[in-house]
Chains A and B, each alone.
Chain A
Amino acid sequence: MKREPKALTALKFTVLFLMLLFLLFPFYWTFLTSIKPYDELYGKVVTYWTANPNFEAYGKLFTSTVDFFSAMKNSFIVALCTTVVTLTVATMAAYAFSRYIFPGRRVLMSIFLCNNMFPTVLLLIPLYSIMRNLHLLYTPTSLVLAYTTFTIPFSVWLLIGFINDLPMSLEEAAMVDGCNRGQAFMKIVFPLLRPSIIATGVYIFMQSWNEYTFAMMFTNTATRTIPVALKSLIGQLGVQWDLLTAGGILTIIPVCIMFFFAQKRLVEGLTAGAVKG
């Protein structure tokens, strides 16, 4: 192809620069706020760089009443349980949808598809009263159950795409060689599917780690997750921006790392349905 005219290249990089500035500046600002000394934070002059960075806010998160460590622990437990439960049942269901034709298949598939569309608030209200009646409110179990409402349908949808991409002949060959279907799945399909399952898992973990709407209503001080703990830093007397931004940085680091490793596979799965049609 012909080379681009210089003006177009210049325009392209200017636009790219401005967009990156818009997308990334809030993170720079958040990080800077978290390491600014207190007097610079609310001083008359807004500074864009600090000569005396300090990491006191990060320490205070763990030593003060915020108890960020227990929030991290709660978030981790909830996200991990949601991921394990969802991956187990969703992989099984997706495999059945992809490899078998059975009565009720289309109806069930459309049920899973529809579930992505229910407004969060529509499920939130009855789940709150159900959890309350079952005495599950304020336990991590209630959150895991609530999160499966959106993680299971979405994961089934993603995994069907991934499994459809694996040729059926792989299992048939294994079965000709004397494996039963279960063995064929474990020995042939599962190893090939592992990167996709991991990518799906990252997505589930991310969603549960970040979720606020349910967490706000389904947890108390002891069981609250990170998003709720962050919100609690906004008090009647003002906002502790230094603690809040420090907590924010600590929250996104783990999910960012996971996302960078899984992103390629995840996007393949997300676009699989859309690109084919």
Chain B
Amino acid sequence: MTKKRSIWPFLLVAPATLIIMCVVFVPVINAIMMSFQNYDLRRPKDIAFIGLNNYFNAFMDKQFINAVFRTILWVIFGVGFQFFFGFVLALILNSHFRGRGLVRAVSMVPWVTPGVLIGLMWRWIYDGNAGVLNDVLMRLHIINDKIAFLSQKPTAFPSVIVTIVWQGIPFFALMLLAALQGVSTDMYEAAEIDGASRLQRLFYITIPSIKNTIFVTGLLRIIWVANSVDVIFNMTEGGPAYSTQTLSVYIYNKANALNLGYASAMAICLALLLLVVVVPYLRMNFKEEK
């Protein structure tokens, strides 16, 4: 690396920094300001500072509290199953068989599919009248009557979780596969000579070797899933009776209703919640820098 004093690095980082300042930092400050006002664009004349009232209101708001708990479940089950199935897929794809390249390529397609389309595709699959899932389950005699998966409370939330799992499996598989390919085969051979079983090899060699990738991918995915709006919004818009409304979706609904002050206050709460995940991520990245 060059240590000589030079103006070049400053010129090189200037454009990116400038853009980020304008589109991220100014807006975040703006959001903080708005969160202290009753900033409602439907009543633009009444906008005034109201202190922490938006925050107090949020903590009194049952929908907000429910949305926070729902977001936690959404992340635990969503990312948990994504990881489990992604890992299984990666382990399988890491062995040699004919057509592996093709299988690997096509199994990644859900990752490049727009969230909107994912939501709508699955809405059609779950459809209560002409939906294919109902038809399959009836042909297999698992159910006798059609289920309106997305419009009744007990099935709606599990259904959207299945969809987010479907979306996230490929990303986990892709990242974990790349890490698996970096694990040296010497260790496996040594372990095999020592008589380690397959399961032992998995837990004592494979998983420790790729734990960094598991960690980073998991954190990234948690952040993305917690922030995801498009899938739920296009399947249920948070319904029925708010049973699929995660915090991101609730905030988005409030922002769509132009109640920007209240939405900002809740968005800041979401950002603070995500710090739990962000701080370890940053720490890890800086450990590497040294």
Which chain A residues have a beta carbon within 8 Å of chain B's beta carbons?
Answer: 1-2, 8, 12-13, 15-16, 19-20, 22-24, 26-27, 29-30, 33, 41-43, 46, 85, 88-90, 92-93, 95-97, 99-102, 105-106, 108-130, 145-146, 148-149, 152-153, 156, 168, 181, 206, 209-213, 217, 226-227, 230-231, 234, 239, 241, 244-245, 248, 251-252, 255-256, 259-260, 263, 267-268, 270-271, 273-277
Contacts and interface: CB of A to CB of B under 8 A. Distances in A.
Contacts of B9: 96, 99-100, 102, 105
B256 interface: yes
Interface residues of B, number: 104
Contacts of B52: none
B172 to A, nearest CB: 12
A43 B289 CA distance: 61
A113 B117 CA distance: 29
Main secondary structure of the interface of A (DSSP, over half): helix
A15 B92 contact: yes
Contacts, number: 290
Q: Give the residue among B12, B115, B122 with the most A Cβ atoms within 10 A.
A: B12
Nearest to B266: A121
Interface in B80-113: 85, 88-89, 92, 95, 97, 103, 105-110, 112-113
Nearest to B5: A102
Nearest to A116: B223
A231 B116 contact: yes
Given A41-B130, A129-B30, A274-B216, A23 B252 contact: no
B143 interface: no
B260 interface: yes
B229 A99 contact: no
B30 A126 contact: yes
A122 B89 CA distance: 34
B251 interface: yes
Contacts of A114: 278, 282
Contact of A277 (B16, B19, B284): B284
B117 A251 contact: yes
B24 A276 contact: no
A92 B17 contact: no
Per CB-CB distance, the 3 closest pairs between chain A and chain B, nearest first, are: A210-B114, A96-B12, A126-B30
Given A101-B1, A277-B284, 14 more contacts: A19-B89, A23-B169, A89-B15, A96-B9, A102-B9, A117-B274, A117-B278, A119-B270, A122-B268, A125-B34, A148-B19, A149-B24, A212-B234, A251-B117
Contact of A119 (B26, B97, B117, B271): B271
A24 B114 contact: no
A118 B179 contact: no
A117 B152 CA distance: 33
A127 B23 contact: yes
